[in-house]
Amino acid sequence: MREAFFLIVSFFTMYNCSAQEIVGDWNGKLSIQGTSLNIIFHIDKKEQNYTATMDSPEQGVRGLPVDQVDFDGQKLTMNLQSLEASYNGKLSGNTIVGNFAQNGMTFPLDLLKTEQKPQKIKKSKSTLSNFNKKMLGDWNGALDIRGTKIRVVFHLTNHDGQYKATMDSPDQGAKGIPFETIKLEGDKMTLTSKIGITYEGTFEEKHNTLKGLFMQSGIKLPLNMQREKIAKEVKKRPQDPSDFPYHIEDLEIKNDAANLELGATLTLPKDKKAKKIVILISGSGAQNRDSEIVQFNHRPFLVWSDYLTRQGIGVLRFDDRGTAKSTGKFAGSTSADFASDVETIVTYLKNRTDLKEMSIGLMGHSEGGLIAPIVASTNKLVDFVVLLAAPGLSGGQLLLQQKEDVSKMRGISDDKIRFGLNTSKDIFKYINKSIHFSDEKYKKGLSKVIKKNYKKYPPSVFKNTSKEDMMSKEIDVYNDKWMRYFIAYNPNENLQKLQCPVLAMNGTLDIQVRAKENLDAIEKALKQGNHSNYKIVALDNLNHLFQKAKTGNIAEYGQIEETINPKVLELVEKWINEL
């Protein structure tokens, strides 16, 4: 699956195989103040990414998402942001020796690889008298914990005289936590769980609400409940706008050729007058019009749109096809398909009488910086192009660089990196020569290439996994239509054709689109096309998202409060306004 930026596609095959022993169910006991809790981590791997969920059966918690999983073949690190918790351990055979940390406290937690057995949940005990039956149903509230809102949902039901109460914590990914004791007396309700949670509330019929206290581990917090659902609180980053002193217009733009509609937002200065308007084009992965990277809690296109509009530049940003309010299908679409959506938007702007006199620019980030030249190379309505962390090299070359840089950062040995690069080169070479093959012929040839490479692996690589299963997954990765197109695509030809002004920028700490090689390739292509009106800028200490960074590691993205470095915003705005 592609993320909201250029993916590091499929870590080196040998590394994938040798690290499979971490995949599975891991069971341990956490001792807290004399209470023993079973903790189970379910670790999986999809393409190059490890994922995990956590169960705590005694607490009624199942499938709690783990936000980040890193494993280098020996050391395991997992972060659970919703619990403000982490786990660090070291793999030794079928055991992981480590520690569980939460709220500044650290507890030993050794995990044993085991087969998961269903956990029995005791039936709730109910103490009922003459109570107000209007208290039954779903109740929604939010705990305020050090300024962070954590949503809580109670489900109180009656099935054939059997009363049941459970609790959800949507923001922590927990559902169905059972209450062991239910006391309903008149308009008062008391719910108690085995994990030490107690809720005492009073029903206020006039407002159809519950007013009460949530108690756990000696802490008491007010918790008032209502029938209406509560929307998830999105923590604002410092650069997220809080006011909008300009014109905002929501749009639906039809792409008749693709039989879809694109949901979009147009922003203009308050007087609706601007000399220039920019279309923002997102990077890899299905993204909404804010280019929201949910796991990192950043909304780059919202920040770009707000900043540029305040500086007198119109901006149109849109949801990728099949995403948010855009129709169509994202899966199976290629960069060329996404380019057709941008073409549709350019036409739309020129057909509006109030906008047609404005100069139109395309600003693409990452893959969006690949799509912009596809459109601008043939569409004379495009007046300027801004390329942010855009590829100048072919997709295959770019992915090889990504693999090398990310693997080094993860501490993979030089031998494994070299071996993986050679394997990927073999696959990419086949993809480049099979552009016009039928799907059946392509897949058959791809299978042969992968099998040939797998014969080079020592038997120990497949000790804990099926060789056939690994090959099948590898084939699926490179059989994806987007992947085939991307690996074979070289932006050089379309960059050569550009005649409008071009600004290309990248950060020197970008490990997804390496700055020097790609900026050099962009400049070389522009020179080959006898282009003279361009500007190439390498920005020190900025990462792929143009944040001020320390290492450029992807894991830093969410840790950095800055969404876009102010220097970048200012540089782009001045360049556009001075055209």
For strand 219-222 and strand 534-539, is the pairing parallel, antiparallel, or unpaired? unpaired
Q: Around 495, how many Cα atoms within 13 Å sit in the side-chain half-sphere?
A: 28
Mean predicted lDDT score pLDDT of the chain: 86
For strand 111-113 and strand 95-102, is the pairing parallel, antiparallel, or unpaired? antiparallel
Q: Which helix (H) or strand (E) holds 450?
A: helix 439-454
Q: Around 83, how many Cα atoms within 13 Å sit in the side-chain half-sphere?
A: 22
Distance CA 331, CA 338 (A): 11
Q: Write the CA distances from 442 to 12, 28, 203, 427, integer angstroms.
A: 21, 46, 65, 12
* Whole-number CA gyration radius for the chain: 27
User: Directed axis angle between helix 368-376 and helix 335-351, to 10°?
Assistant: 60
Q: Around 277, how many Cα atoms within 13 Å sit in the side-chain half-sphere?
A: 26
Model confidence at 240: pLDDT above 50: yes
Query: Which stretches does DSSP call E strand in 256-310?
Result: 260-268, 276-281
Three-point CA angle 120, 122, 128, nearest 5°: 160
Predicted confidence band of residue 525 (pLDDT cuts 50, 70, 90): very high
Q: Kindly state the average pLDDT of the residues 243-270.
A: 97
The answer to whether 55 touches 62, Cβ cutoff 8 Å, is yes
Distance CA 112, CA 114 (A): 6
Predicted confidence band of residue 116 (pLDDT cuts 50, 70, 90): very low
Predicted confidence band of residue 365 (pLDDT cuts 50, 70, 90): very high
| Residue 301: per-residue pLDDT | 98
pLDDT digit string (tens) for 12-48? 333 333 344 788 889 988 876 556 788 999 988 877 7
Give the lowest-confidence range in 71-80, 367-376, 486-495, 529-538: 71-80
In the beta sheet, which residues pair with residue 75? 90
* DSSP annotation of 568: H
Here the tokens at position 548 are 């001020």
The answer to whether 290 touches 304, Cβ cutoff 8 Å, is no
Q: Kindly state the average pLDDT of the residues 315-339.
A: 93
| Residue 233: per-residue pLDDT | 72
| Residue 462: per-residue pLDDT | 64
